[in-house]
Amino acid sequence: MNKYLALIAIVSVLATSCKTAQKQAKTDIQAKPEMPEQTISDEEKNEFEYTFIEGLKQKIIGNQQAAIGYFSKCLEINPNSSSAMFELAKIHSSNGDQTSSSLLLEKAINIDPENKWYKVLLAQIYQQGKQYKKAADLYQQLHNSDPENLEYLYMNAALLSSAEKYDLSIQAYNELEKKIGINDQISVEKQQIYQAAGKKKEALAELQKLIDNNPKEPRYYGLMADFYLSENDEANALKYYLKILEIDPDNGFVLFSLTSFYREKDDKEKAWEYARKGFLNKSVEVETKIQYYLMMTADQDDPFFTADQINELVDILVKTNGGDYRVYTVYAEYLIRKGQLAEARDQLRKVLETQKDNYLIWERMILISNDLLDFNSVYSDAAKAVDLFPNQPVLYALKAVACLQLEKYTEAIDILKEGETYLLDNKPLKIQFELYKAEANYKLDRVAEAFKSFDEVINLDPENWLAMNNYAYYLSIRNENLEKAEQLSGKAVRANPENATYLDTYAWVLFMRKDYSLAKFYMETAMKNGGEKSGVIIEHYGDILFMLGETTKAVEQWKKALENGDFSEFLTEKIKQQRYIDK
């Protein structure tokens, strides 16, 4: 669609359909059904009338199958009932059976060629089936019967164009133009037909006619510029763009059109000049600016403007349209791209001041808090969001995560149970719910329930390595079912051979099984993959070394763990007594 043309629609298929439906609805109730031929007995006439009315009743209450039965019965009584055919055709059409519908309508029109409703519906069905010429012919018949109805003439012209009958379409548009005068839409339709037919001179003449008729209307020059661009005539396109600025210096659309024009020519300086003017222009709607900004920043790997230029455009957008919630949303996404999550969250909070019912903003904001490890905010905001959107299971999951982090384990179980009602068939979220239940129950020393949930997670997702790792670790520290623990942890490690946490768990399971040499190998692998930054892993390494008789090295590792700040309650005693201490 040409961006400078505010189309003045004469008619549309939808409008025609609506009018048809409205008028026909009245006909259904008020008009008597078509009476059978005189060869039909009076008893059959009465039966026909009763059956037809019953069919209408069933159709109105939405019982289509029953309606089909009644109307079919009407055709058994009177095989030439065009009204029964029409009613059946409408039902078949609404069910998507256009073939049956068109056959019925074609027969109905043969019986009653003056009924316009039959032709309108059949034309619409032909159009849906891309039988444009057939549809156009029907609208021509309708126009011939009712010359004052310009809807029929317009549809005839438009459908002839779709059928690529360009000369006939132009004739129809010309006839329409004689009746209503020069019109934006008609001229543009004709221009596009001429252009499609390779008649550039005639296409230009149509656009020039619009300019001559109203030389102070900027969008007509825009149409001309668009035409030249489509013909790769950049010089003339630029001439008409600049003509728009002469008439309307503050025309925001042309400013952005010139930005795009110079972007295509890779003229960064000129493109930036017009982009900046467009953003500074107060007459340009904020939505237009936002759309253009999103378009310009879509390709982050190959940006056209520099980071500083993008920064300036965002600043202009915020300063000139700061009261619009959509600007805060765009600004938030911009800050997220820059890694300024806390600042982005502040912008989303501003959005919620006026858009409290915007679920996606709530979810985005809470997820940012989760990324920031600000679980107090996750907890409080998720609680508010759950009250506003009680049927959104993601919110229950987010609140449960916060509860786990804040050691509100009982509340985590409660919120998960509450949210389960809304999971429906959401398998990925069901898995997360079970995983969180497993963690909360374990912390509450409900070990059997916790392990049952871990089993459920692995049953639902046989490649949930996190569940396998945690399950194995809990089994190992309880010194229970170590064979299963080794099996689970081994799977996680084989799938993630460089994950320090999973390697540490596997090493610890081996430690509990007293396979200290193999445990040392996996623990050292964990250390090489980032484990040297974890006090827990370092302490475990020291424990293994002690069991292998390397006491001095073990104490060194324990001391490193103490310096790291993440260690068990027994670590200081281990160092003091220079021996491994369990419970």
Q: Are 316 and 292 in contact (CB under 8 A)?
A: no
**What is the reported pLDDT for 298?**
76
Question: What are the domain boundaries of the chain?
Answer: 492-577
> Using CA atoms, how far apart are residues 217 and 224, in angstroms rounded to an integer?
12
Structure tokens belonging to residue 179: 């009746």
DSSP state of 224: H
In angstroms, the CA 418 to CA 395 distance is 11
Q: Is the separation of the CB atoms in 120 and 151 below 8 Å?
A: no
Please tell me the distance from the alpha carbon of residue 313 to that of residue 468, in angstroms, as a whole number: 49
Residue 17 pLDDT: 34
Nearest by Cα to 139 from 172, 174, 106: 172
Q: Are 112 and 81 in contact (CB under 8 A)?
A: no
Angstrom distance (rounded) from CA 452 to CA 413 = 14
* 3 state SS of 92: helix
CB 549 within 8 A of CB 526: no
Using CA atoms, how far apart are residues 299 and 502, in angstroms rounded to an integer? 37
CA distance 535 to 576: 17
Q: What is the pLDDT of residue 583?
A: 61
DSSP string, 96-138: T-HHHHHHHHHHHHHH-TT-HHHHHHHHHHHHHTT-HHHHHHH
Contacts of 424 (CB under 8 A, 6+ apart): none
What tens-digit pLDDT sequence spans the chain (583 residues)? Answer: 343 333 223 233 323 333 333 334 333 433 344 444 446 788 888 999 999 999 999 999 989 999 999 999 999 999 999 999 999 999 999 999 999 999 999 999 999 999 999 999 999 999 999 999 999 999 999 999 999 899 999 999 999 999 999 999 999 999 998 998 888 888 888 988 998 888 989 988 989 998 988 888 888 888 888 888 888 888 888 898 888 888 888 777 788 888 888 888 888 898 898 889 889 888 788 888 888 888 877 777 777 888 888 888 888 888 887 778 888 998 898 899 889 999 999 999 999 999 999 999 999 999 999 999 999 999 999 999 999 999 999 999 999 999 999 999 999 999 999 999 999 999 999 999 999 999 999 999 999 999 999 999 999 999 999 999 999 999 999 999 999 999 999 999 999 999 999 999 999 999 999 999 999 999 999 999 998 999 999 999 999 999 999 999 999 999 999 988 778 888 999 899 999 998 6
pLDDT of residue 3: 35
Q: Which long-range contacts (CB under 8 A, 24 or more apart) does 62-69 make?
A: 64/91, 64/94, 64/95, 67/91
CATH number of 492-577: 1.25.40.10
What's the Rg (C-alpha) of the chain?
Answer: 37
Return the number of other C-beta atoms located less than 10 Å from residue 304's C-beta: 16
